[in-house]
Amino acid sequence: MSEDLDIDKYLATEATQLQKDQEVERILSAFKLNPFDILDLAPDCTEKDIKNAYRKKSLLIHPDKTKHPKAQEAFALLKKAETELSNEKSRQLLLTIIEEAKITLITDQKLKSTDPFINTPEFNLQIKQKTKDILIEQELRRRKLLKRELEAQGLAAQKAEQNKELIIGEIFKQKKVIHLKVELKKGKILAEDPSKPYIKRPTNNS
């Protein structure tokens, strides 16, 4: 009887570990720009749904409680998704994009707002894919803009460094000119000093 209990416990543990691994893999394969996907929630979920989903999944895949080598990465993605959806402004922005995707599909397919197809799982999948396309497009634009800004900053820094070198060079040049003038003036004074005829006076000709 004891052996049967040990086997059942072992199988339960293995099943739990399998569930943990599957959830880690699901999170890692989810679309990273859509926190609803990462938390496996529908767009019409409530704040309570978000907190409950995060709590349940974070306990399931916590790096201290699972052997999966990428548990830490999945946990970080889960936390990021929860943070984004808990932020009212961030969540509303994402919901606006999802609504934009829905309207675009309705327009492109010439559907009426009362069309029953709009409420089908198939149409929801289309909305999900269209949302993904929009988010990818936005992310590409963001990266392109960031690249341009960094390039502009790099050029500005390079130009500033060049200007700095020119200024330093000009200062050095002016110092040399001033030093030369001082030396010439010194030489002229010594050459014209009548009180010490025994000292050889440097002149411009020597």
pLDDT in tens, 40-89: 999 999 999 999 999 999 999 999 988 899 999 999 999 999 999 999 99
Residue 149: pLDDT above 80?
yes
Residues 131 and 34 sit within 8 Å (Cβ to Cβ): yes
What domains appear along the chain, each with residue ranges and CATH number?
Answer: 2-137 (1.10.287.110)
Distance CA 161, CA 153 (A): 12
Average pLDDT estimate for 110-130: 94
> Given this model, what pLDDT does residue 176 score?
76
Average pLDDT estimate for 2-6: 55
> Given this model, what pLDDT does residue 206 score?
45
Task: Pick the closest to residue 75 from 54, 95, 105, 102 (CA basis).
Answer: 54
Distance CA 120, CA 114 (A): 12
